[in-house]
Amino acid sequence: MRKKFLTVILFISLMLLVNVAMVSSKHSSCRGSNHSVRKLLKCVTLEGVREHQAALQTIADANNGIRTSGTPGYDQSAFYVAIQMAAAGYEVTVQPFEYLTFIELSPTVLEKTEPAPVEAIETRIMSFSGSGDVTASVSTVSEITGCDPADFTGFPAGDIALISRGACTFAQKATNAYDAGAVGVIIYNNTEGNLNGTLSSTFALNIPVTAVTQDVGQTLAATEGLVMHLQTDTFRGMATTYNVFAETKTGRDDSVVMVGAHLDSVNAGPGINDNGSGSAVLLEIAEQMSRVKPRNKVRFAWWGAEESGLVGSTYYVDNLTQEEIDDIALYLNFDMVGSPNPVFFIYDGDDSDGVGAPAGPPGSAEIEQKFEEYYEWIDAPYKGTDFSGRSDYGPFIAVGIPSGGLFTGAEGIKTAEEVEVWGGTEGDAYDPCYHQACDTFDNVSLDALDINADAAAYVTLKFAKNTSAIENAKAEGFVGAFSTNAVDTHELHDHHHSLVTE
């Protein structure tokens, strides 16, 4: 593992003190070795996971409700992880990196001021929007897409432009509006549902751009004498953030079991399910495995800037030598493992579902089977999900490292068939607060979080003790070799399918 890292002492000197308890006194009965599966699972508790989620919520509350990479909320989250892992006896290292980021520094405001009464309008800022605070009449680019400068002929300079989504990029619409003299832009969806869009990192105009639903946009367009207040406060530029690693002091250096979760939130909220759930599960497992002497070295990782396009994990993998890549036996990923309307998804390492993305690298099937083994042991249902490239397994798959993990769903809609198996609410998102301010401490299925904490602990310990199945799979190869189908993570600039265009 390349040692281009800050030491923990230097890192701590750069961080603000976190106003939460740093070292927990829980699990007094679990001070000894947790080398057996049954002992470890007894000691990995929902209470322990929730204590870490509570700490992350406290950090967010003290930092404008967010833990976005590049902000003090993220720095303090990383500091919290580093302190907890150092106290547990791990070798802790912190990897700084710079990246181009967009941060919503304070909540976006969209209000109808005329005709009376004043009314707040639900809105979502477009990523890479500029800053601004304007109150102006609203002119609708009616029945036209706004994709051509000619669409703005006669547009009143100094107005806010209201434009429908469709036919070209959001950046092109916003640029044409700006050139026509607009002081702000509101883009409304052309289908049902919220619009989570990005102007892309090349957008540099200092104009506020935000998005509303189709229903809201059509209502605004039909309002006579409409005047609106639009306020955005953003940062666009280079920022420094961190990956945090906690590594066992024993175990084979040439057979490293990596276990990862992203630590950052989006700009909209504290991210306590996405991904305070995976991050807290890793913290709890690592604490309870701290007295285990594994046969294979275990390296826990908390990734920065995942929400900006898997930046932290990509930076880490890109800076490994080939020898260091070869030394990583496998990678386990835990991103959103406590969604409030959950399905128990396992990444489909062998493409047995036969849909979507191809199988993972040789050894991924064995990882999937190990998770299935746990769910079958406790008689819990499970379902495969594709390696879609939406989380931090992507860079590992791209260099041939066997990967797997768990997921309980994001913005996808729960089906009637899934409700029959897992319960919950048909027609609702797996996480109705996905990428929103309401992704807080209470945005969780305690049952899913409890089961998946144990599933993650079970598989981590199993591979910490024995990776022979992975090694054999690598040696034998894999039918439908992944190398011709690898996910190109360098093209995954917008995590979780943020929309650039129609």
* CA pair distance 176, 288, nearest whole angstrom: 56
Rounded to the nearest angstrom, the gap between the alpha carbon of residue 310 and the centroid of all alpha carbons in its chain is: 8
Amino acid at 472: N
Q: Is 491 a catalytic residue?
A: no
* CA pair distance 226, 349, nearest whole angstrom: 53
* Annotated catalytic residue within 104, 247, 287, 306: 306
Residue written as token pair 């917008």: 494
Q: Dihedral of the CA atoms 405, 410, 415, 420 (nearest 10)?
A: 60
Q: Dihedral of the CA atoms 5, 90, 44, 404 (nearest 10)?
A: 40
Largest distance between two CA atoms of the chain:
76
User: What secondary structure, in 3-state letters, does 49-116 show?
Assistant: HHHHHHHHHHHHHCCCCCCCCCCHHHHHHHHHHHHHHHHCCCEEEEEEEEEEEEEEEEEEEEEEEECC
* CA pair distance 170, 167, nearest whole angstrom: 9
Asked whether 398 and 404 are in contact (CB, 8 A), the reply is no
Asked whether 211 and 188 are in contact (CB, 8 A), the reply is yes
Candidates 330, 374, 375, 287; CA nearest to 473 is 330
Structure tokens at 112: 């109808």
For 433, other C-beta atoms within 10 Å of its C-beta total 21
For 94, other C-beta atoms within 10 Å of its C-beta total 23
Catalytic residues: 306
